[in-house]
Chain A
């Protein structure tokens, strides 16, 4: 059975667990770094990125999550999670995990009153995907190895780089589990190749 951990320090982690379970995989909430050994893939959920970073530091998650990624296990960041994965934020290299070669702008669409829902085509994942953007970031630019999966209004809102996946919106807030299913498939494939 494929087990997907959802980083449960703050934010909408239970919704992600529900979404993972809807795809048929097992979802667990990860609150302690030791739990990283028990999972095949990790989701970093939406929430407040500054709050999550503080708790990541406090509980020594930063390096263990980087190592988790380096070992070839997939990581999926949504909204705040995307910010945590990025290698450049708001023009500064003062980054969090920095494992994905993407430049991110925080609160890029504006304040809460500018938050919105829109239909997206996510390349190779889903057409007409109902995406919920909440004080969302977008990706200004991606490195050579990263692939753009979706744009909204010209801005990059989903990208993949090998076994790293990131999106600006909140797939866990709807009943559309297609992007979660895409991630679960990435994890299943990595599990097979890591077992070889």
Chain B
């Protein structure tokens, strides 16, 4: 007797990714560079977030031929993005055999109110979050892995830092509440009460939480690990840099040895120019991808 698609199998898959770097790639060649550099998984996309920003218009699930090309090129797991609430895109990705689906605010949402009911799928999902309420709602919908939203495609770490600190601060707050205070916390954060009780007991989320959205340098990746991330997603940073292979290797090592500052100094030498980056105040409301879902 065996069972597929159990919580343990779906969450366990993310556990195996811990301490690692998941890289955005748009073709087989980039996927191979990522694998060679030591990425634990790749995210197959049609465009990296910085280019999605530049292109404007509606961003959708990638052309399946790109995703397939990447799946055939590497033996590490391949993730792919579906639009928020786009049940069919997610089912298509599952049918293709993608290893993890990112229900992602980087793409234009298909549903501005509801997320996908992810616990009905055999394939595991990762979702973005900015606070404990979003984290808890996504987990209860069936997400097996979380990531901070940050602000994708900006090369600016400030939002990822804000979200990681926010979530961790709220977990500590929750731990300090007496049991009879948790219901009001649940109300204020619009989070399921029983899940909050579980988080309060364990002192951590029941799934792995990576950092994403603005990581542009090895030091950025190390900072997010320092702040308690289980691993990092690097989107536009790597293949928008001058020497992607070297950059990718440096990010992987900085993530493993995030508290070895001498090493990070060495890794950061002569990497060429990192992506240019954007200041948050230059983004208007609808350019802030993190606000596309709650």
A residues neighboring B (CB under 8 Å): 8-15, 31, 46-48, 50-51, 54-55, 58, 79-80, 106-107, 110-119, 132-135, 152, 170, 173-174
B residues neighboring A (CB under 8 Å): 1-6, 8-10, 12-13, 15-20, 35-41, 75-77, 94, 97-100, 122-124, 252-253, 256-257
Given contacts A55-B38, A135-B13, contact A50 B2 (CB under 8 A): no
- Nearest residue in B to A46 (C-beta to C-beta)? B16
Residue contacts A-B, CB under 8 angstroms, 15 given: A10-B18, A11-B19, A12-B15, A13-B19, A47-B17, A48-B17, A48-B20, A48-B40, A48-B76, A51-B40, A54-B38, A106-B75, A113-B123, A135-B16, A152-B2
Which residues of chain B are within 8 angstroms of A54 by Cβ–Cβ distance?
A: 36-38, 252
Least CB distance from A96 to B in Å reads 14
Given contacts A10-B256, A54-B38, A113-B122, contact A135 B77 (CB under 8 A): yes
Q: What is the bound-complex CA distance between A58 and B18, given in angstroms?
A: 19
Which residues of chain A are within 8 angstroms of B98 by Cβ–Cβ distance?
A: 111
Which residues of chain A are within 8 angstroms of B17 by Cβ–Cβ distance?
A: 11, 47-48
Least CB distance from A152 to B in Å reads 8
User: Which of B8, B9, B20, B100 is in CB contact (< 8 Å) with A51?
Assistant: B20
Would A134 and B19 count as touching, CB distance under 8 A? no
What 20 additional pairs, Cβ within 8 angstroms, besides A112-B99, A115-B12, A117-B3? A10-B19, A11-B17, A12-B12, A47-B16, A47-B19, A48-B16, A48-B40, A51-B20, A54-B37, A54-B252, A55-B38, A55-B252, A55-B256, A112-B100, A113-B4, A113-B5, A116-B3, A132-B9, A133-B9, A134-B16
Q: What is the bound-complex CA distance between A58 and B99, given in angstroms?
A: 28
